[in-house]
Each structure stands twice: as C-alpha cells, then as structure tokens.
Structure 1
Amino acid sequence: MKPFLDENFLLNNKTAQQFYHQYAAPMPIIDYHCHLPPQQIAADMQFGNITQAWLYGDHYKWRAMRTNGVDERYITGNASDWEKFEKWAETVPYTLRNPLYHWTHLELQRYFDVYELLNAESAKRIYEECNEKLRTPQYSVRNLLRKMNVKLVCTTDDPVDDLAFHQQLRKEGFEIPVLPAFRPDAAMNVADVTTFNNYVAKLEKSANTSIHNYNGYLEALKKRHDYFAENGCSVSDHGLEKIDAEDYTENEIKSIFDKIRSGRQLDEKEVLKFRSAMLITFAGWDHEKGWVQQYHLGAIRNNNSRMMQQLGADTGWDSIGDSPQARSLAKFLNTLDKGDKLTKTILYNLNPADNEVMATMTGNFNDGTIPGKIQWGSAWWFLDQKEGMTRQLNALSNMGLLSRFVGMLTDSRSFLSFPRHEYFRRLLCNIFGEEIESGELPDDMEWTGKIIQDICFNNAKQYFNWDSMIEDKVLNGETLQEV
C-alpha cells in the first residue's frame, strides 16, 4: 500500500518521479493571475491564526462545509475563529476524493510541516501548532511568498483602484514584483442602471474628470488604462459568462450610454451591443500597449439570490454555465485580427464541454509572430483538480502545442494556495512519464525535462515579457539561478 501524500504523490512511475524531482520541483513560480490583496503584501501582514489565513474568503471550503451541513454561523458568521476551524476540521474527512482533501494536507505539509491528517480529533493540536508558527516573522505574507519560491505576482484590480499598494511595494524595492492587472468588468456592467451609474461616479473621481457622454466615458477609462500601464501593468483580465460580439454602430453606443445615464433600463439587445463595443475598445487599447489579455469564460455567478442579498458576491454561489461560446468568440477574435488589433490572448473555459472548442479556437489565430500567441489557459476554478487539469493537458496536447503552454496559476485569494502549482507539476510530469515508459514518447530525459521546465516557468516569463523583472532579483542573498 502506497503512503498518502509522500514525496512521489501523483507520480506513478520512475520516469515521472525523476522529471518532477529533478526538473519541475526546483522551478520558481510566476503567479500571473490571482486575487491576492495587495494591501496585505504591502503591510507584510501576519495572520492572527490559521482560520484567518485559510478560511476567510475561501468559498471552495465554504461550499464544502455547507454541503456537510455546517451552519452559516461557522462559515461567514460570527462564530469564533477556533469554532470555524473546528467545523472545517470536522468537514475535511468528508471531502475524500474532492481536491480540497489533497490541497488541505499539501498546505499543512508545505507551509507548516504538519503531516498529521486533519480531522475532529487532531483539530486542536494542528490549530495551535499552525498558530504558533503564524505568530513568527517567518510567516508574514511576504515570507509565505518567499517560502514557495514565488518570483512574481499579478493581482486583479478594477480600473478605479488607485494602485497605492503596488506603488508602495515598488518604492520599497520588494524583490517579488507585485503587478496590477486591469479588470474592467464593472465598466461593462450595464444590465443594472443604478449599479452602472454608481460606477461612473467612482470612475469620475479616480480619473479626476466629469463624464457627460460616451466619449467622455471612454476618455476617463483610457486615462485609467494609461495609469495602470504607468504602474507596471501589462495584463488585462475579464470574467464573463461569454464573449459578446453583437454588431453595433458608434451612434448606437452613444445613444445607449445616454439612455442609461438618464436612469432608464436598457433592453437585452442594448446591453449586448454596449458590452460588445467595450470589449473591442479594451482589446484595442491592450494591443496598442502590447499587453496580454485574458478572458475567463463560462461561469454563472450569484445563482442564489437570497444568499447573494445576505452575503454579497464571491461567497460561494457560482457554478459552471452552459452558454454557447464558439461562434461569438470566433467573431470577436476575427474582428480584432482583421483590424490588426489582436494582442497576446489567454482563453479560459469553465465548462469542460468547451475544452476542445478552446483548444482548437487558439489555433485559428496563432499567426507565427511569436510562439503560442493565443493560449488556452490552465484548467480554471471548478476544473483545477486532478481530472480537470489532466483533461486540459491532454486536449491541448492533441490539438495544440503543450510545449508552448504558459502553465499554472493560483486564481486564489489565499497566500496558502501555492501548492496548487506543485499539484499541477506532478500531474504534468506523470503524463510525460507514463508515455515514455509505455514507449509512446522517446526516452529523452534532457529534452522532455526542458519542456517541463518551460511549462512550469520559462514560457510564462517570456510570454509576459517579464524576463528583466525576474532574472536578477535577489532572494535571501542569492541570485535566482535558472534551473
């Protein structure tokens, strides 16, 4: 019987084990998409206990606890941090075969050197041991990043954000670059009149301008886009149910903007036209600056209206959607390509039924200018587990070039989520190892090892043009050495 979560976890043959330990494990991490709060990095925050580090804001765990019959008081409610941890510990044994079981114990091992299984009986011991370590300077959030060999973090930021914490980190010379990403979803959200007009007021304040019409609105957003670029941003990101690609005229969009600014609700067609226009506009600005644009597609968010009203967004009431993706996505990318305005692009799907759609869509617009210009992103959200990652890697291998893939990200709000990169790397090495041992691939350790290292780190560093930011950074007195 194999031990649980040992050094060869998920590595089912000798070749896979060699690939992981010799080639993949030593590679640093670039987290090019996450939701880490930059203010916590700027403050070099220390968590008061593991509940704060682990359970605050983690709707993966919240959903599991609710499914296990845990009252909301112990999830987002007013129970003490110990009581919340205790309820999570009681839930963990019931998460067998859910990725949370693996992630929970990987994080206990990698951050806290805790190798005991978490359950009701061990909860108090583990809680106290982790809390004791979290109180030491070695467990500040910056040191948690260092501990995981993170070399760059890219956060997710609204156009109205002032980026003060990013500026502070740069001014201090923190050796791990923390870069903003431009996420203008709220600037396109015209389905609700009040929400949109409140957002325009925020934009006026951040751009220090008055907005009287659509042209003024674009000028204010462009001003913020430029401001982000001045503060190190080279990545945009969109979280959408699907790409909108309705035909529109400029006069139509101006009229639609005037209508919603007057307080009148838009009809569905007008919403689609406005969103389509904004997507094209943002993509054009991204191309001008040579940014990478990312599109996270396929989530249905805030399905439980009662709990949305009670707790707000991002509290665990989202799911996979089944919107058709291919035709509108192809039209959108083709429009940009025809106008020579298609920048480097990463597409993510949440519905696994769209795997092959995305894998083949990228090939339509890779034009030979750079390797992997249009990327199919890593398995996302509900799919970033063993089967989801494996299916994504296999589909990309079959229909694209896995060797040019920019690899894994955390997409997380937690500083304890970086073992997800390890999880991905183990699965990647196991796939190559199995096919070499079965004779499906040549036994060329050096070349395949290079491909694995590229997917783990080098491809992302080159794709995002972050070589100069990472190459000469000093960590604990040692210059980063390429493996």
Structure 2
Amino acid sequence: MKTFITDDFLLHNEYARELYHEHAKDLPVIDYHNHLPPNEIEQDRKFENITQIWLQGDHYKWRLLRANGVEEKYITGNASDKEKFIAWAQTVPNTLGNPLYHWTHMELLRYFGIDELLDEDSAEDIWNTANERLQDPGMSTRNLLAGSKVEFVGTTDDPVDDLKFHQSIAGSEFSTVVAPSFRPDQGLDIGHRGKFKSWVDKLGIATGREVHRYSNFLEALADRVDYFDKQGCRASDHGINVMFYEPATEQEAGEIFEKSLNGDALSLKEVHQFKTHTLQFLAERYEEKNWAMQLHIGPMRNNNSKMFEKIGPDSGFDTMGDQLLAEPLSNFLDSLEQRDGLPKTILYCLNPRDNYILATMAGNFQNATIPGKVQFGTAWWYNDHIDGMENQMNILANVGLIKHFLGMLTDSRSFLSFSRHEYFRRILCNLIGSWAAKGTIPANMKLLGRYVEDISYYNAKRYFNL
C-alpha cells in the first residue's frame, strides 16, 4: 500500500496549507539541541544498512519493540541487523496513534524515496531498497545534514571533552555549523561519590589544574566554559531529574565538595546546596558569554534496575517524574536575577502537568535584552507528538507570546530525524491555520506568515546569535 504522507499531510484547511507551502516548507533548519555524535559528522560516516542508521541507539523504537513483545536480542542484543529490522517492520503496523508511525514513513519517503507502508510483507523489499540507497554518496552524514538544509547543529558534550571533532569540522569546508553544547551533569552529580571523584580527576587533566579544593573546581569549570566558547558554543544543557534550590556560601559548598572527595556520605540538603551554588556560578558564566541555559526538568531515569544493569542508561527505561518544581525553580531563577546573572534560559518539562508552570514562570523573568529571553521550550521527549506539541503551543499562546517561540529541536541521535522539523512545521501551520479558520485570529496571511517563519527558523537564529 502507498504511503499516506501526501503534500498536505496534517494540513487540514486552506490557511494551514498556504502557511506551510509558502512560509515554512523551504526554510533552513536550526537544530539547537541534539545528541548526534560529532565524530560521525567529522568522519562523514556512511552506513552499511538501514538498521545502523535507523535503529541503533533509538530508545524510542526500542520501547515500542518491547511493548510489542519482541525479545531483547532483536532490540539491543546479538541478532543480525536484518533480523532487527524485520522485528521493527513487524512492529510498525501496531504503532498507529504513536508519532513513530508518522516519523517512520516520513523518513522512508524523504531519505530513501520509499512510498510504501512498512510491514512484514514489505520488509524485504524495503530492506533491499534502503540498503542500496545507502550506498549513494549523498547518504553520508554530512550530505544528510546538507540535504536536510540543516544550517546549525548543537551537539551535547561533556566539559572534559577535547572537542577535537568539532575543531576538525570547523576547519573543513562543511557548510553546516556543528557547535558543542556544555553539558556538565557529571560535575553537579556529587551524590555519586566515586563517579563524581573520577570526573573531577578528568576535569583536572582537561584543564591542567590540581583540583583538590572547590575554588580550583570552579576555576576549572570556568576554564572549560572559556574553551567551549572559543569552539563556537552557544548553549549549555542541564538534565535535572528533580529541581533543587538550597542556598549555600562558597565556603559551605567547598566543605561539601571536600567531604565528597574524601568519600564521606552527604545528606540530601548538602547535595542540593552544592548543586545550587555550582549551577549559580555556571549560570553567571553563561550570561557573560551570552549563552542560553537549557534546563531539561523532570525525568525519572533507569526505572528497570534489572535492565539498567544489563544494558546501561539511555536504553528506554526512563519515564516522567512527578516531583514539585515551581518553588525551587522560581527561587533559583530569582537568585540569578538578583545578581544580574540570569542568562537566556530555556525551560523544558517532561511531565505535561507542569506546562503551565513553566509557561508562566518564563514570564516572570523577561527583560529588554531580547524578546523571549526566558523560553517555555518545545514539547519534549514523551510530548513531541501532535497532542503534545499543540498543547505546549496553545499554553504558550494563552499566557505568553508564541510569536517569540524558538520552535523545534530533534533531541535525537539519528541523522534521519530532521524530518521532525517538517512534522513540527506542519503541526504549527495547522494550529495557526485552525485559529484563522475559526475566526479567533485574523486571516491576515502576511501577519501569520511572519509568525510561522519566525517560529520555524528566525527566532532561533536571533536567539543563538547565528
């Protein structure tokens, strides 16, 4: 059966169709947060088969495979690449209503020219056609980015990384800007004593410093912020399972730091004191560099301890958390605002229960430096489907200014995920078009077109100084 991904897919009225085809479709892509491996971009990697580019590392698909009763050997185990692909093909017809059904067929169509529905019957032909297409020079990582009109990529990088791949890419003639993003989660995770000490040792090596005291630690972190900035960094990123705010002096944070390095147990209050003071210090450095600070709040990770021990993190066993965040988040942002140290900030929540909290919280800390300085970020992870995206945008419009919204990011490890920008733009155009069709906003296509163009591309270009 032929695909259902038509030119007017998800565009349900004349206004939506005009907005997408005339204003959104051909804009470049700024993907300011993803997990693409920079080494594969630097090496211009080519993939032997569709499993390697499509299924490896994709915990979205892994979750659905498990839900379909597929054995783990066909997911992360030692089954052949073809067997893993067949398992996914058998699963796809059972994914109706899940965004992966849409993404699967959009990616087959956009990257491989395959307009057939994927199922057990079509799997063999699609396997062969896709693998043949992958031998084309245009299917290497750099050509995939260029072909998707990706203008900017913000990868996710540990402060101790040497960024040699970013340097090599920047020194080449590749047109896409591949910039690092500063992700110091391990440097704040003082509750894991052995792991934290090991990371501190790596920080010392990366900076050539002896990091035995908290003052040395902060100096080393500042060194790495400087280093990342020289490599074109535009943003930091922080994974925050539970939002914290527990003020502490530098002396108190230093005592906690030394306790951890000595192997002493820390109370939850001490952990939060250290995190609060350290993140305040970093946020002020971000403000100096005109970076954006991204806070990804609310996941509850590694719930299946048996599978975590077997496979490791980021394998499809994370879920939404339900810890309260309004008060600690407000206090944290306010503490930065009081000292004129609040950088551009993007707030993401995994639990949609918190959408109104973040949307209204962002409004508390705006100023004249840039429209939308503090952002309610795009629908994230379990929310990047039609309902989730529409909900996030409706709430932002209800209590803020959607005109300054930064729009979509992939948050992905896949080089085929950039069709999600098309997916988002179609949903955006349909949402605004539906408002016009209902008569709740004027059907002024010049005005609405500017909204679509800004949200799809220009807002992010301005926000990240590109």
- The bucket for the TM-score relative to the shorter chain is over 0.9
Deviation at 1:173, TM superposition (A): 2.9
Contact 1:243–1:332 (CA<8 Å) still a contact in 2? Answer: no
Tell me how far apart the structure 1 counterparts of residues 210 and 306 of structure 2 sit (CA, whole Å). Answer: 36
- Find the counterpart in structure 1 of residue 149 from structure 2: 149
Aligned-pair distance for 1:365?
0.4
Say whether 1:18 aligns with 2:10.
no
In 1, distance between residues paired with 2:384 and 2:39? 26
SS for the counterpart of 2:347 is: strand
Amino acid at match of 1:23: H
Gapped regions of structure 2 (runs ≥ 5): none
Kindly state the Cα deviation for residue 266 of structure 1 after the two structures are TM-superposed: 1.2
Distance in 2 between the 1:258 and 1:232 partners? 33
* SS in structure 2 of the partner of residue 187 of structure 1: helix
**1:432 correspondence with 2:456:** no
* Secondary structure of 1:12's aligned partner: coil
1:391 matched residue in structure 2: 391
SS in structure 2 at match of 1:365: coil
Write the distance in 2 (CA, Å) between the matches of 1:419 and 1:137.
20
Per the TM alignment, residue 167 of structure 1 is displaced from its structure 2 partner at its CA by: 0.1
Residue of structure 1 in register with 2:455 after alignment: 455
Out of 368-377 and 347-356, give the one that drifted further. 368-377
Aligned counterpart, 1:83: 83
Aligned partner of 1:269 in structure 2 is 269
Shift of 1:205: 1.4
Write out aligned runs for 1:253-402 (5 A).
253-402=253-402
- Can you list the C-alpha shifts for 1:337-377, whole angstroms capped at 9, x where unaligned? 11111111110011000111111001000123321111111
TM-score under structure 1 length normalisation: 0.95
SS in 1 for 2:194: helix
Q: Please state if 1:230 is matched with 2:191.
A: no
TM-score by length of 2: 0.98
Is the deviation greater in 151-160 or in 256-265?
A: 256-265
Report the equivalent of 2:158: 158
* Per-residue deviation, residues 258-312 of structure 1 (Å, max 9, x unmatched): 1111111212111111111111111011011111111010111111111111111
Give the Cα separation in 2 of the matches to 1:318 and 1:348.
Answer: 16
Give the Cα separation in 2 of the matches to 1:284 and 1:44.
36
CA contact (8 A) 1:213 1:254 kept: yes
Look up the SS of the partner of 1:172 in the other structure.
coil
Q: Distance in 2 between matches of 1:369 and 1:78?
A: 53
Give the drift of 1:174.
1.4
Question: What is the distance in 2 between the residues matched to 1:83 and 1:315?
Answer: 19
1:426 maps to a residue whose letter is R
Residue of structure 1 equivalent to 2:131: 131
Is the counterpart of residue 63 in structure 1 residue 55 in structure 2?
A: no
Q: Aligned partners of 2:91, 2:244: CA distance in 1, in Å?
A: 40
Corresponding letter in the other structure for 1:337:
E
Residues 442-470 of structure 1, C-alpha deviation per residue, up to 9 Å, x if partnerless?
1211111111001000010011110xxxx
Q: Percent identity?
A: 51
Secondary structure of residue in 2 paired with 1:30 = strand
Work out whether residues 359 and 400 of structure 2, in 8 Å CA contact, stay in contact via their aligned partners in 1. yes
Pairwise CA distance, 1:3: 7.7
Q: Distance in 2 between matches of 1:396 and 1:421?
A: 19
Which secondary structure state, in structure 2, belongs to the residue aligned with residue 178 of structure 1? strand
Supply the distance in 2 between the matched residues of 1:345 and 1:225 (Cα, whole angstroms): 16
CA drift of 1:4 comes to: 2.2
SS at match of 2:364: helix
**Alpha-carbon shift at residue 391 of structure 1 (Å):** 0.1
Number of residues paired by the alignment? 465
Does structure 1 conserve the Cα–Cα contact (< 8 Å) formed by 2:3 and 2:116?
no
SS of corresponding position for 1:370: coil
Report how far residue 5 of structure 1 moved: 2.0
More divergent stretch after superposition (157-166 vs 443-452): 443-452
User: Partners of 1:10 and 1:48 in 2: how far apart?
Assistant: 33
Q: Is the 8 A contact 2:378 2:407 kept in 1?
A: yes
Map of 1:469 onto structure 2: none
Name the residue aligned to 1:177: 177
C-alpha separation in 2, matches of 1:463 and 1:369 = 11
Native 8 Å contact 2:300 2:318 kept in 1:
yes
Instruction: Give a deviation string over 1:200-259, Cα, whole Å, max 9, x none.
Output: 111111112221111111111111111111111121110111331102122211111111
Distance 1:343 1:193 in 2: 30
> Contact 2:3 / 2:117 at 8 angstroms: preserved in 1?
no
Structure 1: distance between partners of 2:431 and 2:99: 19
Give the letter aligned to residue 12 of structure 1: H
Residue 419 of structure 2 corresponds to: 419
In structure 1, the gaps of 5 or more residues are 467-483
